[in-house]
A and B are shown apart, each in its own frame.
Chain A
Amino acid sequence: MSWVDVEHVSVKVGAATLISDITLGVEPGTWCTIIGPNGAGKTTLVEAVAGLRRIASGTVQIAGQSISALNERERARLVSLVPQHPQVPAGMTVHDYVALGRVAYHGVLRAPSAGDKRVVNEVLERLSLASFAQRDVATLSGGERQRMVLARALAQSTMVIVLDEPTTGLDLRHQMDLLELLKKEVAECGLTIIATLHDLTLAGQFADRLVLLDQGVVVIDGAARDVIRSHELSDHYGMNLRVIDVDGSDVIVPVRN
């Protein structure tokens, strides 16, 4: 049994099947990125892993515990989420926003404990956010904001983090910074990452494993380098993709037909 075990999971909305019979096992300390064209079901899959989607059939287990059998608070101690479009409430300080990551521990009626405060301050320091801990979240740049959302997820102290397009809206430099930061967390803390990414080059460079979804089903699953170099990739994206080796790294370039 893997650390994150997705077994024969299907998610439906009304008559539409968004993902169908997906089976996926992710080992601890692994970075698994879900790729695929728009509408492939990437977001649905990661939301199902985070326990935010009603599963029509199958099971999702994390550390041997079925996600659907847990309440929100128990689930939030196992898996944290970095959404594609996080809602950032204006007027809240960066510190208070990151501290929301501890709600699963102290509950909504009690104040954060000394331990909760220590975790929040450590995460703020680690992600270089301490200097603007008292700033209004609405005043942050895109890169700072995304780092803050990641800090909130890290404050949850979960061993599994699910990220849905975490680099959306960031320039190249900030995309790389964020992913490097995550890579460091995986290496140092043994985190398990399940992420979706549209940028195939970045997906290939940072993930240990790539899973290609198309029309709600897994079509390729394997080591990042193998999936990126797979001939089927172009077929599933419906376009001509070329892989170029730049100093040992694969760069995926779309080519006009």
Chain B
Amino acid sequence: MSAGPPTEQRVAIVTGVTVVGLVVAMLCGLVVGPTSIGTWRVLGDVLSHVGIGHSTLTGLQSTIVWQLRAPRMVLGLLAGAMLAVAGGTYQGVFRNPLADPYLLGVAAGAGLGATIAIVDVGSGLSTPAWTPLLAFGGAMVAVACTWLIGGKGLRSNAATLILAGVAVSALLTSMQTFLQQQSSANSITHVYLWLLGSLASADWSSVLLVIPYVGICILICVLSGRALDAMSVGEDESRSLGVRVRQVRLIVIAASSLGTAAIVSAVGLIGFVGIIVPHIVRLLVGTSYRRILPISVLFGAAFLVFCDTIARTVMAPSELPLGVVTAVIGAPVFVVILSLRRASVR
């Protein structure tokens, strides 16, 4: 790893390795699980779906692969890609390395929405079906409040928006804590499990529900790379260069927040991916958002599916919270890349 701006060759190598990692993670997502089904048999089944060869899976095995593991893997891909690209976009638009997709209150709003669903609507006995809807609504209301408080939208600046996000998050979190404190021990468990984030309840309907939002939002975030590069010289300078800073900020914040809210409503709060993946990618391919954002999509998707495979296998049949695994795997990876980078700069 050499110091200074990355060469095209290094970017190509990182992209290639990330794509290979993504394919491996997807295969892991389909193959690995408590029920042992051979890798080649699963691969054969996948190929049979595109008209190559014949499947040797039994009906039950096919159901396990295509109705349990596949939607979970696809939702993991979408969640990882969305959280990573939203984190990278937020870091670019706010020019703040500590920004993550939950910066403007998405997590607190979704948490409050889910708690209302579980504690009040569902009487705390289970996680009701409309939890994702209320979580999504809570997240969007939170971001809208942040946007309005932080200087009425287009005229706001980045610092004011961040502060408004902190205030809105604090208020909504305190409301959620109060609701939890007033509820039964059983409902606290359900709320807590939801907050930790999990892909366990993934099915094709949840994938189909989020895919339109997430697909469009990822596309908008990736396309914002050139604008974010221009905005890296500060607001006034980028305006003098011809960038419509306020409009760009509105569009990319709306896309990042909407996509994140859709993902959070489906899988709960998965931490660490949004903040750490863009930083890992930045260390590997340099500071240009034209490179960081698309590679973060691939890296985030592979990373989350890989972490989910670990989460559901190391303590099978019970599962580890996904957020715990993302942090335990992501932090050391980040530290290793950071030390390699520092060593090469010296």
Which residues does A use to contact B, with CB under 8 Å? 47, 50-52, 71-73, 75-77, 79-81, 83, 86-93, 96, 100-101, 103-105, 108-109, 111, 134-136, 139, 152, 156
Contact = CB atoms under 8 A, between A and B. Distances in A.
B252 to A, nearest CB: 11
B236 A134 contact: no
Interface in B1-46: 4-5
Contacts of B5: 91-93, 96, 134-136
Contact of A73 (B224, B232, B244, B286): B244
Nearest to A105: B242
Interface string B224-246: 10110110111011011111110
A76 to B, nearest CB: 3
A109 B220 CA distance: 10
Given A87-B232, A92-B288, 17 more contacts: A50-B240, A52-B236, A73-B244, A76-B240, A77-B242, A80-B240, A89-B232, A90-B287, A91-B286, A101-B241, A103-B242, A108-B230, A134-B5, A135-B4, A135-B5, A136-B5, A139-B4
B239 A72 contact: yes
A71 B244 contact: yes
B125 interface: no
Nearest to B245: A72
Contact of A104 (B223, B241, B286, B288): B241
A65 to B, nearest CB: 15
Contacts of A50: 240
20 contacts: A51-B239, A52-B240, A72-B242, A72-B243, A72-B244, A75-B240, A75-B242, A89-B287, A91-B287, A92-B5, A93-B5, A96-B229, A96-B288, A103-B241, A103-B243, A108-B230, A108-B248, A109-B227, A135-B5, A152-B241
A165 to B, nearest CB: 15
Closest 8 CB pairs of A and B: A104-B242, A91-B287, A76-B242, A108-B227, A81-B240, A89-B232, A73-B242, A87-B234
A241 to B, nearest CB: 32
Contacts of B286: 91
Most buried by A among B223, B241, B244, B288: B241
B239 A52 contact: yes
Contacts of A83: 236-237, 240
A212 to B, nearest CB: 25
Contact of B233 (A47, A100, A109): A100
Interface range, B side: 20 to 34
Contacts of A77: 242
Interface in B188-208: none
A149 B227 CA distance: 19
A140 to B, nearest CB: 12
A109 B290 CA distance: 11
Interface in B235-275: 236-237, 239-245, 248
Contacts of B287: 89-92
Nearest to A109: B223
A111 B226 CA distance: 8
A96 B241 CA distance: 13
B237 A109 contact: no
A50 B245 CA distance: 15
A104 B224 CA distance: 15
Nearest to A93: B5
Contacts of A135: 4-5
Nearest to B244: A72
Contacts of B236: 47, 52, 83
Q: Which of A51, A92, A108 is the most central at the interface, judged by chain B CB atoms within 10 Å of its CB?
A: A108
A136 B4 contact: yes
A103 B238 CA distance: 9
A51 B233 CA distance: 17
Contacts of B239: 51-52, 72
A245 to B, nearest CB: 39
Contacts of A103: 226, 230, 241-243
Given A72-B245, A135-B4, A100 B230 contact: yes
Nearest to B246: A72
Residue among A72, A83, A90, A101 with the highest chain B CB neighbour number at 10 A:
A72
A72 B251 CA distance: 16
Given A87-B233, A136-B4, A100 B240 contact: no
Given A86-B233, A90-B287, A100 B241 contact: yes
A77 B243 CA distance: 12
Contacts of B224: 108
